[in-house]
Amino acid sequence: MMAAIEEVDALVIGAGPAGLMAAEMMSLAGLSVLIAEAKPSAARKFLMAGKSGLNLTKREETAAFCGAYGDGYPLLADALAGFGPDEVVAWAEGLGQEMFTGSTGRVFPVVMKASPLLRAWLARLGDAGAELRTRWRWTGWQEDCACFETPAGPTLLRARVTVLAMGGASWARLGSDGAWAAQFADQVADFAPANMGFEVDWSPHMAKHFGAPVKGVALLAGHEVGRGEFVISDRGLEGGGIYAVSRALREGAPLALDLLPDLSVDEVRQRLSRTRLKESLANRLRKGLGLSPVKIALVQEFGRPVPQDLVPLLKGLPVPLKGPRPMDEAISTAGGLRFDALTSDLMLKDRPGVFSCGEMLDWEAPTGGYLLTACLATGRLAGQAAARYAG
């Protein structure tokens, strides 16, 4: 039996930040909007991000902000020019969220959680007439209709405009499983983990340091240098400092740690000269340089045999990595729908009236507010373009 065809003005597939922003733009333009979400509730990955403090964006010099997107920035430039950090803050405040900027420039709601913002946002969308339908999984196209598996069975929707916002291929249990890519053949760049941890084969003596943060280091990944905290885990290295250089590491750059990035080589050498050579390595590092127990453990783990001159080791301790953690554990993914398959306003070239946004697109950025800002910005751009197309 053929499924009945339902007609709508505007269809958004995926109820994450990008999709909800696209829905908001089309609602503001006077379109009736239907949002179809495969999971039982909206924005599950967004809510998970908020559990450790919802870092919505980052306020910093324009060059630094743009540079965080690497070679993907030119592809995102139009979207970010229209909805950058200041606009993100104003939008969140418009949803009743008081915001604050931390010492590193990262911007958070005062409550730190995502749930109050999401509730206010969904309420505003509902007031504008947007309808959210959950447990609606998109399965492809049938001529000009979008096909869904729903609690009521197979359903077809014909929309004047459609925005695809189905996420990348990480955290499948939260909705981003990348299954949509099978519908786009050669238009999709292969997925790869981004903002992920890396595996390390630890010796048994490192077990007592599992869970310990490593602070005050510089991470040297080939030509890239990052500053940030990371954590020793039973599986390897995890945390923001590692995520910031994860792309370079994924592409084969070796990792080394400058354990004393605020001291010059001469200063390190001078401080070490005040210690006695007969003392143990751990005592020299603790007394002479004030290294924490976990930093000393790292030197003992990767600095054997101990060289006579410790300074090069301390300023560039090599850390052998086995490889990245599995993609489904990554915070985000590289790869996705290629920009050369899209127009400048994010419409699919081979399917007029269908737009895409968010992590579906082939770009990546480090954590720290950059990911969410670009998701919101591309959702806004796609939603506005779709509204114009609907005319």
**287-323 pLDDT, tens per residue?**
999 999 999 999 999 999 989 899 999 999 999 999 9
Helix then strand count (H, E) for the chain reads 14, 21
CATH number belonging to domain 5-191+334-390:
3.50.50.60
Average pLDDT, the chain: 95
Residue 311 gets which letter from DSSP? H
Q: Is the pLDDT of residue 1 over 70?
A: no
Give the integer Cα–Cα distance in Å for 197 and 328: 11
**pLDDT for residue 4:** 78
Least reliable range by pLDDT among 22-31, 131-140, 168-177, 211-220? 168-177
Backbone angles phi, psi at 355, to 5 degrees: -115, 165
Tell me, what's the pLDDT at 206?
97
Bond into 116 cis (ω within 30)? no
When pLDDT is averaged across residues 47-72 and rounded to a whole number, the result is 93
Q: Where in the chain is the domain with CATH 2.40.30.10?
A: 198-324
67 against 185, higher pLDDT: 67
Is-contact 331 194, C-beta < 8 A?
yes
pLDDT at 49: 86
Looking at residue 69, its pLDDT comes to 95
Q: Which residue has the tokens 């509902």?
A: 126
Give the residue-averaged pLDDT of 91-115: 96
50 pLDDT band (50/70/90 cuts)? confident
Lowest mean pLDDT among 73-87, 198-212, 268-282, 346-360: 268-282
What CATH topology corresponds to 198-324? Elongation Factor Tu (Ef-tu); domain 3 (2.40.30)
Instruction: Establish how many alpha carbons lie within 13 A of residue 119's alpha carbon, considering only the half-sphere containing its beta carbon.
Output: 6
Instruction: Tell me where in the chain the CATH 3.50.50.60 domain(s) lie.
Output: 5-191+334-390
Query: Is residue 241 scored above 60 in pLDDT?
Result: yes
- The predicted model scores a pTM of 0.93
CA angle at 388 for the pair 356 and 121, rounded to the nearest 5°: 65
> Residues 122, 65, 238, CA angle at the centre, nearest 5°?
80
Q: How many C-beta neighbours within 10 Å does residue 334 have?
A: 25
CA-CA distance, 346 to 379, in Å (whole number)? Answer: 10
* Torsion sign over Cα 365, 367, 369, 371: positive
Tell me how many degrees the CA angle 333-337-340 measures, rounded to the nearest 5: 130
Write down the pLDDT at residue 2.
Answer: 57
